[in-house]
Amino acid sequence: MPERNGHVLLGVNALILGYLPAAWKSPRLTADAFHSGDYWRQIGAIAERGTLDALFLADSPSLGNPGQDANPAKLDPTVTWAHVARHTSHIGLIATASTTFNDPFELAERILTLDVVSGGRAGWNLVTSRDPQAAANFGLDGVPTREERYARGAEFADAVVGLWDSARTGEELSLDGEHLRVSGRLCAPASPQGRPVLFQAGGSPQGRALAGRLADGVFTAELTTETAVPHYQLVKDAAQQYGRTRDEVKILPGLLLSLGSTEEEARRRSDELHEASPAAYSARWLSQAIGFDVSTLDLDEKFPSEVLDAPLDPATFTGSIGFRESILQKIRATGPTVREYLRETRYSGSGHGGFVGTPEQLADRIEEWYRLGAWDGVNLQPDVLLEGLEVIADEVVPILRRRGLYRHEYETSTLRGHFQAAGPSA
């Protein structure tokens, strides 16, 4: 495999209790864990013990469906991370927040405030929202079309970045767009890291263009290196087209984890957690992800062409295009029956990639994809957050260090500094 300078970037997507619905059954969790300040303090302390680069936490403007969402209730990430910032000194703290149901001035101020009080460790993961229930919560009759959401999202990103810069330069932002009008400047102090780190989530053409133009990182979904390597190059190419260097935007796909001391133990753990989850969880999630009711299919037949080859109508499909493409590409390549695929998602991931195995095997996966140029790093998503995060910090990170792929201690104190210290891309 080719040599690469620097080290891999490691993030953890803190999915409240874990990515599987049965995570709440962990004997280490209390009934009020997710809204306990001490729980989040533990998460920050463990991540920093492993010298991880960043923690991600998503906002949710509506109550989720427990049949499709392992964590249907969520707290505001910027407030949660402000609490964690008080008890940590180096870990980056990234809040996922929507451009569809937020105001750019208010969000820019909130993220910059977190950045200032954390000493330059804040980031924003930009998403658009597609949930009709969220729209109703904001007094709207429905969700804007995909094109409208992305157009507003692009203007929103320009507004937020311009407002962050206004805090440094003292110059007012004047933006008069088709979807947004913003005039003024933030009153907060300038960012200790220049500006908060900006992530873009997703793999659509509009998302790639936005990432190439403005983002410092992309939180994407990839299932195979055959699709990940070309997507990696597309985003890097887009950055160059906008006059930036290829290294200015980092690619960190998500990876769902179940870890054990042996592969057999890890698979047993994954099976037990899946079987303790709602019986229809996998089928419901897959139906939402690909835009087809999987419950109508024969479990012991292969996916029909009406599913695999159906043209996508962006105007009516409400899911993630990136997730849908990665799932259908994997199904086409392997040709499983519906039952086989639903079982395989326990081990290979759904929209995000999946991994079931030992810490050593996970280090192999991280190293292989990094050296192939499929990612600059990875956003790890444990099945049970608290337990999985400890294994990452205490077992996976030391293996990566021994291989020369990860630092032994923090070399920088800001999130942007962590990204820059990771070294140039191949």
> How many Å apart are CA 350 and CA 191, to the nearest integer?
37
Q: Is residue 402 exposed (0-12), middle (13-18) or buried (19+ Cβ within 10 Å)?
A: exposed
Total tally of structural domains belonging to the chain = 2
The 10s digit of each residue's pLDDT in 309-318 is 888 776 667 6
Q: Is 150 annotated as a binding residue?
A: yes
Q: Is 204 annotated as a binding residue?
A: yes
Per-residue pLDDT, 283: 79
Residue 184 falls inside a structural domain: yes
Whole-Å CA distances, 242 to 36, 211, 245? 44, 10, 9
Structural domain that includes position 281: 263-345
Identify whether residues 29 and 130 lie together within a single domain: yes
Identify whether residues 277 and 244 lie together within a single domain: no
Percent of the chain with pLDDT over 90: 64
Identify whether residues 156 and 275 lie together within a single domain: no
Residue 338 falls inside a structural domain: yes
Q: Is 225 annotated as a binding residue?
A: no
- More confident call, 326 vs 185: 185
Whole-structure pTM value: 0.88
Average pLDDT value for residue range 244-256: 95
Task: State the average pLDDT for the chain.
Answer: 90
User: Which CATH number is 92's domain given?
Assistant: 3.20.20.30
Residue with tokens 């004047």: 174
Per-residue pLDDT, 91: 98
The 10s digit of each residue's pLDDT in 46-96 is 999 999 999 999 988 888 766 556 676 788 999 999 999 999 999 999 999
pLDDT band at residue 339 under the 50/70/90 scheme: confident
Q: Is 96 annotated as a binding residue?
A: yes
Identify whether residues 36 and 70 lie together within a single domain: yes
The 10s digit of each residue's pLDDT in 128-182 is 988 888 889 989 888 888 889 999 999 999 999 999 999 999 999 999 999 999 9
Residue 1 falls inside a structural domain: no
Residue 59 falls inside a structural domain: yes
- More confident call, 341 vs 102: 102
Identify whether residues 249 and 332 lie together within a single domain: no
Identify whether residues 144 and 39 lie together within a single domain: yes
